[in-house]
Amino acid sequence: MARYTGPKHKIARREGVNILEKESASLQRRLNVPPGGLHGRKMKRRLSEYGQQMREKQKAKAIYGLLEKQFSNLVKMVGRKKGETGEMLISLLETRLDNIVFRLGFAKTRAMARQMVGHGQILVNDKRLNIPSYKVELNDVVTLTPKAQKNPQVLALLEEKDKIIIPFLKRQGTSGKLVRMPKKEDVQVPFDLQLIIEYYSR
């Protein structure tokens, strides 16, 4: 299955959550209106338990930009380990290289971060990596390449003074480091982890 590349607003309205990772007043007003306007609103019905589980799974996939196979593999992986499944799933999602680049403020959206990684504009421990799903490990140093540092969009982001870096990361200039593993309380996820786990436990 190919990654969806259509209008992000349409996905956001279908899932009822802002997946654009940036403020949008017009989208915020329309989040509770499904695509299709009045017709879409009439068609919206109370979801079954299975439907609710699937909807939460779809939200998570849309937010992190994952394909079904990628996401299901992550859930199955944490299911085989000892520990709190939801906590481990968040940790895996948040330590993807594209997500770390986004969280460090080097990219405005995860889609932009994924593109930067794919184009070889990110170094991990001084080694160029082009795999968005690469799992960043504790104390790994993520750095922008000289080419990325000249990108006007990236330069504008680096100059933002009010950017708040998430607690498990530390940023200094054009480099950042994973200082501890992510926890659920570090991120406000707009989806229900338990329902997602239940969906894949069927």
Question: Global pTM?
Answer: 0.79
Percent of the chain with pLDDT over 90: 70
Span 8-90+189-200: which CATH code?
Answer: 1.10.1050.10
Residue 14, pLDDT > 60, answer: no
Closest CA to 90 of 107, 81, 78: 78
Say whether domain 96-180 belongs to CATH 3.10.290.10.
yes
Q: Which residues of 43-75 are buried (b: 16+ CB within 10 A; e: fewer)?
A: eeeeeeeeeebebbbbbbbbbbbbeeeebeebb
Q: Which residues of 187-199 are buried (b: 16+ CB within 10 A; e: fewer)?
A: bebebbbebbbbb
